[in-house]
Amino acid sequence: MKVLFGCLLVVVGTLLHTNAVVISEEEQMALEISGVMLPPKKLTKTIGEHLRAIRKFYPQMERIQHRPKWIPGELLLAADASAVQKLNSSRYGPVKTAEKVTGEEDSSSTFHVIFDKPYHPARLVERVQSELAIQEVEGNLIFGDGNDITYHPTAPTYATYTFKMGWGDCSSGCIYKHFWEFSVAPSEETVTVKLEKEYGSDLNNREFVKP
């Protein structure tokens, strides 16, 4: 459970909606890592190539996916309907849907706003605050823990990826975690993948995971 802006507006968990903008795993990773407004094409392509190479050589990694930190292109907004219209007609619009999640009919409410582009929420929040003077706004964050992939660029042509398998009460941070760390080095025609390290909880403990 989270409290938005420390006031009366309470949102429970991540808001999920069928109108969400769907992006690929590599786009989400590139967006999170770059911290720019929209998924950068070159980094998206590089990460996609790296992940495919890792999973080709280590097919057991196919069941581990990157865990998004937030849903792109979505905001939670504590304001009235005129602020939604302002967003819709701004250069960040159009707004696909704006659903009221809490609040009285005639006072300020919380809106779950979905844009038609996969904006980085932190960048969008900054711009909405400075350009549109809408202050009480934040991203649609994803809580909990679980399997994940993190990317660490170490040089322009060399990168490290950590695959994490998490299990056991992951909603409050997994009790068990097992890690595989891969280095990826593209050469002329192929990508060289090396398992550098494997560590963490014993994978045999997974039988204790409750369904």
Ligand X SMILES: *[C@@H]1O[C@H](CO)[C@@H](O)[C@H](O)[C@H]1NC(C)=O
Site residues, ligand X (CB under 6 A): 84, 88, 94-95, 97-98
Output the smallest distance, CB 114 to ligand X, in A.
8
| Least Cβ distance, residue 88 to ligand X (angstroms) | 4
Minimum distance of ligand X from residue 18's CB (angstroms): 15
Smallest separation, CB 129 to ligand X (Å): 20
Residue 63 beta carbon to ligand X: minimum distance, rounded to whole angstroms: 37
Cβ proximity to ligand X: between 14 and 88 the closer is 88
Residue nearest to ligand X (CB): 88
In the bound state with ligand X, the residue whose beta carbon lies nearer, of 92 and 167, is 92
CA distances from 144 to 89, 148, 171, 200, 209 (A): 34, 11, 4, 19, 16
Q: Which is nearer to ligand X, 95 or 149 (CB)?
A: 95
